A and B are shown apart, each in its own frame.
Chain A
Amino acid sequence: MRRLFALIPLAALAVLAVFFWNGLGRDPREVPSVLINRPVPEFQLAGPPGQSSGLSSADLKGRVSLVSLFGSWCVSCLQEHPTLMMIRQGGELPIFGLDWRDDPVKGAEWLARNGNPYEKIGLDPAPGRVSIDFGVTGAPESFLVDRNGVIRYKQIGPITPEIWQHTLLPIVRELQK
């Protein structure tokens, strides 16, 4: 009996080991979005100062598009920006911008300074209701939307050239078929 008791700790470790081994292959950061495969929320947003048209949910129908959330206050967005410019030049798909919780003037200045990869921009001032309806957790964040206006993929954090090539582009090609 005492013998068996003394082996209990070893058995407990064995059970834990199985879970650890399983856990190694998974990414805990990959939070599944509840809004994947759901239509984009209905919205109508004003554009930056001086531009007549903003962005609305109707713009996201008919073509596969990338909706990207940014803000002039967001440092990682600046890091992502060159990649978005590159995607724009590639012309694979239109990019729409959501200027999130931003001062409209600062947002426009930021784009003037760093280049504007967006076909259309919607202003979503604080608290940023529309973005929240998209299921945004922070900026930058991007969504791939299919022809029917359904969110198909959510990218958390900046898009790097690598993520674009290996993750997003294959999905875009698939959606465009």
Chain B
Amino acid sequence: MIAEIGHFALTLALAVAMVQTVVPLIGAARQDNALMAVSGSAAMAQLVCVAIAFGALMHGYVTSDFSLLNVAQNSHTQKPMLYKVAGVWGNHEGSLLLWALILALFGAAVPVAGRNLPAPLRARALAVQAAIAVGFLLFILFTSNPFERLYPAPTDGAGLNPMLQDPGLAFHPPFLYLGYVGFSMAFSFAVAGLIEGRIDAAWARWVRPWTLAAWIALTLGIALGSWWAYYTLGWGGWWYWDPVENASLMPWLAGTALLHSILVVEKRESLKSWTVLLAIITFGLSLLGTFLVRSGVLTSVHAFATDPARGAFVLILLLVVVGGSLALYGLRAPALKAGGVFAPVSREGLLLFGNVLLATGAGTVLLGTLYPLIADSLDLGKVSVGPPFFNAVFLPLMAPLVLTMAAAPSLAWKRGHLARVRSRLGLIGGFGMGAGLAVLPLGGPWWAPLGIGLAAGVLAGTLAEPILRLRAGAGLSRRQIGMTAAHLGVALVIVGMVGEGAWSSEAVQNQSIGQTVTVGGYSFALNAVEPVKGPNYTADRADFDVTQANRAFARMAPERRVFTVPPRPATVAAIRSTPLTDVYAVIGEAAGPNTWITRLYVKPLVIWLWIGALMMAGGGLLSLSQRKRS
């Protein structure tokens, strides 16, 4: 019964969204306030309907109602409660419902938070928002209905892939979706702005916090996914250039560019056309991410559903939404009035340069991700594009970007005077080079000192401005502190990337009980491997004594679990993190009597990846919390 209510609420949400698409647009065209006001109440009604549907599905999971096909396929009575709840979005249908719910949440936030917005802009933006909702609700109702019944109901469900039973992954999709869907706000307002033919500072002031919020969520979502891969997959890596990882990185890169170009619109009423294009592209890439995961056009560990009908639907949705808005852009963008002009050497100039690099980076990732598809389509054979391509093409693009980051805060808006900041830039550069030279004795590949030097340059360049301001007795706004923290976060992430990439050591071997293996200065003695029993798995648990320079460092207990439902193996790595290094141990299959395959890694500086990502998100939050307009 509850599932039927959910199904009905979802159908109702579709009807509401259709009204919300049409009526406010007519209202805005006729300057009819009553018709425009429909948008606000419709957005609220839509949220209520989708929330009821989501609640109904959640109820099915929590009570293990296996008469629901979706629950039977993805849940199990033995599953811990957290994963029953997270199981709602751990599958194709449920994750789309989550998508729709978040979209409705953002839609409902417009009338609540945007009372001061001009009524026509608000009405049009909500209409665009509703049009996206119509597409997704149609998709859910016609190809991916989560409320399908199963008769007779099985006594127990098929279970959730055990690899996904992890707190890091339980929260990874919601954050990612908050990011993806959050960019719909910038998109809707960009399209509304194009319809009106006006983009101005007020528009930017409204769009910036929403874009920032989406960016924070996406940053956290990507970091959570990466962290999960690092500590559960047991390969010791944290980024694999998998198509779906790329699918989340592309909107992040475009969104980062958008965030900075909105700043230029806000402060200087410049780069309007570019900003609008970025808003469309960012959301388009978010939709593309959804398409890639849902359609199975690319091979990936993430692809849940490989159903061409579903893929075709998402593709059409993508083409209508992005194609329609790009066509509108083609018609209207040339008419957007350009505002303040600026010299190439100015903060705007460097922001634009950084923007171009970020967009090129996103384009590179797009090319690498889609190349297998393009090659297959042209019958050039089945190829896969992996880390070598991305490392060779994407990373060199990031080096000038990081240099730009180091220099930009020192330059003034509109026209920067190089002469005035020459000594400061010299200091920043010197600091970077000093740091690079300082790590030379550590050895490693040639790019390791370069990476550390760049990170140090960003550190110095980011801190120089606030230090000078504080010295001059001027205060710092939360936005300034937030920006400083986020940029420092980038520097830390670079440090983590270089540390892990350049100075890691690893050893894979058959290790017998009593045997000691030394990796990167750490000695791993395997004391024992014991069978243990968990709530829904059995496991082999190893007991390592790890020593460094004859001093006890840690006792580590990695496990190899075999889950009962569905019967699948999973590794649980044991990781000890210190500020300088991560020590990482994995136990694999038994290789003989009293012998197991063990993989042991020493990975310097990895912890700074996560700290850096948290600082980026934290800096964003701090900036977001500043209500007063500067």
Query: Is A24 a contact partner of B295 (Cβ separation < 8 A)?
Result: yes
Chain B: interface residue count, which band?
35 or more
Kindly list chain A residues whose C-beta atoms are within 8 Å of the C-beta of B567.
75, 78
Interface centre among A18, A21, A126 (most CB of B within 10 A): A21
Question: Any chain A CB within 8 A of the CB of B524?
Answer: no
A113 contacts the other chain (CB 8 A): no
Contact A10 B370 (CB under 8 A): no
B442 at interface, CB cutoff 8 A:
no
Do A19 and B374 touch across chains, with their CB atoms under 8 A apart? yes
- Interchain CB contact (< 8 A) of B377 among A3, A6, A23, A78: A23
- Contact between chains at A13 and B377 (CB < 8 Å): no
Q: Which of A1-42 contact B (CB under 8 A)?
A: 2-3, 6-7, 9-10, 13-14, 16-29, 31-32
CB distance from B328 to the nearest CB of A (A): 9
Q: Which of B273, B372, B568 contacts A28 (CB 8 A)?
A: B372
Minimum CB–CB distance from A61 to chain B (whole Å) comes to 31
Indicate if A73 sits at the interface (CB-CB under 8 A). Answer: yes
B323 contacts A by Cβ under 8 Å: yes
Contact between chains at B295 and A7 (CB < 8 Å): no
CB of B521 within 8 Å of the partner chain? no
Task: Please state if A24 and B326 are interface contacts (CB–CB under 8 Å).
Answer: no
Q: Please measure, in the bound complex, the distance between the C-alpha atom of A9 and the C-alpha atom of B276, giving whole angstroms.
A: 12
Which of chain A's residues have a CB closer than 8 A to the CB of B589? Answer: 73
Q: Which of B205-213, B307-315, B611-619 contacts A (4 or more CB under 8 A)?
A: B307-315
Question: Which among B291, B308, B592 has the greatest number of chain A C-beta atoms within 10 A?
Answer: B308
Report which of A14, A19, A29, A78 forms a contact with B373, defined as CB distance below 8 A: A19
- B287-345 residues with Cβ-Cβ distance < 8 A to A are 291, 295-299, 306, 308, 311-312, 315, 319, 322-323, 326-327, 329-331, 333-334
Q: Is B382 an interface residue (CB 8 A)?
A: yes
B376 part of interface (Cβ distance < 8 Å) = yes
Decide: A24 and B312 in contact? CB cutoff 8 A. Answer: yes
Q: For B319, list chain A residues within 8 Å (CB).
A: 13, 17
Q: Is the CB of B323 within 8 A of A13?
A: yes
> Chain B residues with Cβ under 8 A from A9's Cβ?
277, 280-281, 326, 329-330
| Contacting residues, chain A, for B434 (C-beta < 8 A) | none
Interface size class of A (residues with CB under 8 A): 20 to 34
Q: Which B residue's beta carbon lies closest to that of A29?
A: B299
Q: A3-B330, A32-B382 are in contact. Are A13 and B312 (CB under 8 A)?
A: no
B273 to chain A, nearest CB (A): 7
Residues of A within 8 A of B444 (CB): none
A24–B329 contact, CB under 8 A?
no
User: Roughly how many angstroms separate A13 CA and B325 CA in the complex, as a whole number?
Assistant: 11
Q: Is the CB of A20 within 8 A of B373?
A: yes
* Closest B residue, CB atoms, query A28: B299
B569 within 8 A of A: yes
User: Judging by beta carbons under 8 Å apart, are A10 and B372 in contact?
Assistant: no
- Find out whether the CB atom of A23 lies under 8 angstroms from the CB atom of B334: no
User: Which of B296, B327, B376, B382 contacts A10 (CB under 8 A)?
Assistant: B327
Q: Which residues of A contact B377 (CB under 8 A)?
A: 18-19, 22-23, 26
Chain A residues positioned under 8 Å from B329 (CB to CB): 6, 9-10
Q: Contacts A9-B329, A16-B370; is A3 near B298 (CB within 8 Å)?
A: no
In whole angstroms, how far apart are the Cα atoms of A24 and B298 in the complex?
A: 9
Give Cα distance in the complex from A78 to B589, angstroms: 17
B315 lies within 8 A of A10 (CB): no
Q: How far is the CB of A8 from chain B (nearest CB, A)?
A: 8
B602 to chain A, nearest CB (A): 27
Quick one: given A6-B329, A31-B382, are A20 and B297 in contact (CB under 8 Å)?
A: yes
Shortest beta-carbon distance, A5 to chain B, in Å?
A: 8
> In whole Å, how far is A45's beta carbon from the nearest beta carbon of chain B?
20
Partner of A6, one of B284, B295, B322, B334: B334
> How far does the alpha carbon of A20 sit from the alpha carbon of B298 in the complex, in Å?
10
Given contacts A23-B376, A26-B377, 10 further A-B pairs with CB under 8 A are: A10-B323, A13-B284, A16-B370, A20-B291, A20-B297, A20-B315, A28-B299, A28-B376, A32-B382, A75-B568
Closest 3 pairs (CB-CB, A-B): A7-B330, A22-B377, A23-B297
Measured CB to CB, the residues of B under 8 A from A are 273, 277, 280-281, 284, 291, 295-299, 306, 308, 311-312, 315, 319, 322-323, 326-327, 329-331, 333-334, 370, 372-374, 376-377, 382, 562, 567-569, 589, 591-592
Chain A residues at the B interface, C-beta cutoff of 8 Å: 2-3, 6-7, 9-10, 13-14, 16-29, 31-32, 73, 75, 78, 103, 126
